[in-house]
C-alpha cells in the first residue's frame, strides 16, 4: 500500500491532478519579434552611358508587431495543448544610392511590407508549480500562410518552443513568454532571404471556461477544426500549389434531442502562390444526429457567409452561399472527434471585367473537415 501511495504521489507531482471536467482558455495574444526578418544583401551597378552607377542594399525593416487569438484545452492541472492564430507583417527596406562615393551621391530609403503572414502554432504545454506564479515550457509545430509575397517567399512550416510564466488572477491568466521558431529553409528571389531563426516576446491574456457550458438547458461545445479543399478555387485554373488547407473555431449548441446548431469561423486563403485573396467563412448549420450500427452520424445544412480581404485589385468572391454536409462523430469522454464532408454552393459573384461569360471563382466547393470539440 505504501508503494502505491508513493507512486500516486509521484504521478500527481509530474502529471498534475486531472480536471473534474474538460476546460479551456480562450483569449488574445500580442507581442513583437526580437530578431530581424531578413538577412541583408547588396548589389552594385557600374552604370552606362545613360544610367549612373548605383549601389543597392536590401535590409530588414522595423520589428514586427504580432497579434491574434489563442485557444487552450486543459487536460490536467499541468498538461494542455494550445493553438494560436497570429498576424505578423514582415517589413523590409530598400536603400538605393546613386553615384556612390562622389559628391553627387544621393540615397533613397524605402521601407515596405515584403510579406504579410498568418502563423498557426500548435503547442503542447507543461506548467509547473501550484501557486499564482507558475512557470511553463511549450513546444510543437508552426504553420504559416503568406499574403502579397513575391515568389517564392518565406517557408511555410517550422518548429516552435518557448518558456514563460502563467500568472493566475482568478479565471483570468496572463502568460508572458519567449518563443523561438526554427522555420524551414526559405527560398529567395535573389534579394530577400527570410531568416529561419526567429525569437519573439509575446503575452497572452485568456479566460478559463468549463467546456460544458449551458444556457438554460442547452449544452454548448467549443472546438477547433481544420481541413482541406477537394476542389479548385479558381474557375478553369489549377490551384494545387499551396492554397488548400484551412482552419478555424466552432461553437455548437444543442437545441433539443438530436438537433443542434453550429456556427464556425474559418480562415481560408484562396488563389495562386504569391497572390492570395484572404477569406473568413462563417457557416451557420442546423445539424441532426442519428445512430446506425453503433455509429453516431450527422447531417448539416445552412447558409454560409464570407468576408474577403487582400484583394490587390482582384475581384472579390461572393459573400454568401448554401452549405450541406454529412459526417460521423466519435466521443472519448468529453472530447468529440468529427470528420465530415461539406459542399458549398456560393452565389454568383462579380464577373471578370474582361469577360461576360465566366466568373473568376469556382462557385462549387467540396471540403474535407476534421472537427475536435471539448
pLDDT tens track of the chain, all 374 residues?
555 555 445 445 555 555 555 578 889 999 999 999 888 888 888 888 888 888 988 888 888 889 998 988 888 888 998 989 899 988 889 899 988 888 888 999 988 888 888 888 989 999 998 788 999 999 999 988 777 665 556 887 899 999 999 999 988 999 999 999 999 876 665 567 888 999 999 999 999 876 555 555 567 788 888 888 888 777 665 544 445 678 888 889 888 889 999 999 998 877 655 566 778 899 999 999 988 877 789 999 999 999 887 776 667 888 899 999 999 998 877 778 899 999 999 987 655 444 444 447 888 899 999 998 87
Q: Can you give the pLDDT at residue 173?
A: 94
Matching fold, domains 23-209 and 211-374: yes
Burial 338-371 (b: 16+ CB within 10 A, else e): bebebbbebeebeeeeeeeeebbbbeebebebeb
Residue 204: which of 180, 168, 170 has the closest Cα?
168
Q: What is the CA radius of gyration of the chain?
A: 25
Which three-class secondary structure state does DSSP give residue 38? strand
CA distances from residue 302 to 196, 231, 354, 363 in whole angstroms, order as listed: 43, 20, 33, 16
Bridge partners for 276 per DSSP:
271
Q: Can you give the pLDDT at residue 353?
A: 42
Q: Which three cell numbers stand for residue 334?
A: 468529453
Residues in contact with 105: Cβ distance below 8 Å, sequence separation at least 6, in sequence order: 97, 98, 99
Task: Fold for 211-374, please state it.
Answer: Porin (2.40.160)
Please provide the DSSP assignment of 284-307 as one string: EEEEEEEEETTEEEEEEEEEEEEE
Q: Which three cell numbers stand for residue 230?
A: 477537394
CATH of region 23-209, choose from 3.30.50.10, 1.10.8.10, 2.40.160.20, 3.30.365.10: 2.40.160.20
Q: Can you give the pLDDT at residue 161?
A: 97
Q: In the chain, what are the domain boundaries?
A: 23-209, 211-374
- The number of beta carbons lying within 10 Å of the beta carbon of residue 305 is 12
What does DSSP assign to residue 239?
A: -
**In terms of DSSP H, where are the helices of the chain?**
2-15
3-state secondary structure string, 47-115? CCCCCCCEEEEEEECCCCEEEEEEEEEEEECCEEEEEEEEEEEEEEEEEEEECCCCCCCEEEEEEEEEE
Q: Cell 552607377, residue? A: 53
Using CA atoms, how far apart are residues 234 and 353, in angstroms rounded to an integer? 15
Q: Can you give the pLDDT at residue 11?
A: 45
Q: Which three cell numbers stand for residue 209?
A: 471556461
Burial 154-193 (b: 16+ CB within 10 A, else e): bebebebebebebeeeeeebebebebbbebeebeeeebbb
Using CA atoms, how far apart are residues 207 and 117, in angstroms rounded to an integer? 26
Question: In degrees, to the nearest 5, what angle opens at C-alpha 258 toward C-alphas 257 and 259?
Answer: 95
Q: Can you give the pLDDT at residue 210?
A: 63
Amino acid at each position: 500500500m505504501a508503494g502505491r501511495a508513493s507512486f500516486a504521489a509521484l504521478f500527481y507531482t509530474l502529471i498534475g491532478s486531472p480536471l473534474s471536467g474538460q476546460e479551456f482558455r480562450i483569449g488574445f495574444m500580442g507581442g513583437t519579434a526580437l530578431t530581424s526578418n531578413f538577412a541583408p544583401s547588396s548589389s552594385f551597378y557600374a552604370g552606362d552611358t545613360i544610367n549612373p552607377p548605383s549601389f543597392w542594399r536590401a535590409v530588414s525593416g522595423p520589428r514586427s508587431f504580432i497579434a491574434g487569438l489563442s485557444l487552450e484545452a486543459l487536460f490536467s492541472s499541468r498538461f494542455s495543448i494550445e493553438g494560436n492564430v497570429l498576424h505578423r507583417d514582415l517589413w523590409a527596406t530598400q536603400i538605393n544610392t546613386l553615384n556612390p562615393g562622389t559628391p553627387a551621391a544621393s540615397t533613397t530609403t524605402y521601407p515596405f511590407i515584403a510579406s504579410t503572414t498568418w502563423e498557426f502554432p500548435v503547442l503542447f504545454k507543461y506548467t509547473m508549480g501550484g501557486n499564482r506564479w507558475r512557470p511553463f515550457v511549450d513546444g510543437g509545430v508552426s504553420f504559416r500562410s503568406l499574403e502579397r509575397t513575391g515568389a517564392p517567399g518565406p517557408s511555410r512550416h517550422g518548429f516552435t518552443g518557448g518558456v514563460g510564466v502563467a500568472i493566475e488572477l482568478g479565471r483570468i491568466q496572463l502568460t508572458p513568454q519567449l518563443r523561438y521558431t526554427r522555420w524551414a529553409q526559405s527560398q529567395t528571389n535573389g534579394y530577400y532571404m527570410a531568416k529561419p531563426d526567429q525569437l519573439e516576446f509575446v503575452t497572452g491574456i485568456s479566460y478559463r471556461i468549463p467546456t460544458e457550458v449551458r444556457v438554460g438547458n442547452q449544452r454548448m461545445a467549443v472546438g477547433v477544426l481544420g481541413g482541406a479543399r477537394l476542389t479548385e478555387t479558381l474557375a478553369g485554373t489549377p490551384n494545387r500549389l499551396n492554397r488548400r488547407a484551412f482552419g478555424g473555431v466552432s461553437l455548437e449548441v444543442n437545441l433539443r434531442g438530436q438537433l443542434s446548431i453550429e456556427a464556425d469561423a474559418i480562415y481560408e486563403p484562396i488563389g495562386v502562390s504569391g497572390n492570395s485573396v484572404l477569406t473568413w467563412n462563417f457557416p451557420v448549420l442546423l445539424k441532426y444526429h442519428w445512430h446506425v450500427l453503433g455509429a453516431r452520424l450527422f447531417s448539416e445544412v445552412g447558409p454560409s457567409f464570407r468576408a474577403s480581404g487582400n484583394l490587390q485589385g482582384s475581384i472579390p468572391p461572393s459573400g454568401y452561399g448554401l452549405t450541406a454536409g454529412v459526417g460521423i462523430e466519435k466521443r472519448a469522454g468529453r472530447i468529440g472527434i468529427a470528420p465530415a464532408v461539406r459542399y458549398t454552393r456560393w452565389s454568383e459573384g462579380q464577373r471578370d471585367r474582361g469577360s461576360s461569360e465566366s466568373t473568376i471563382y469556382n462557385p462549387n466547393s467540396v471540403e474535407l473537415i476534421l472537427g475536435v470539440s471539448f
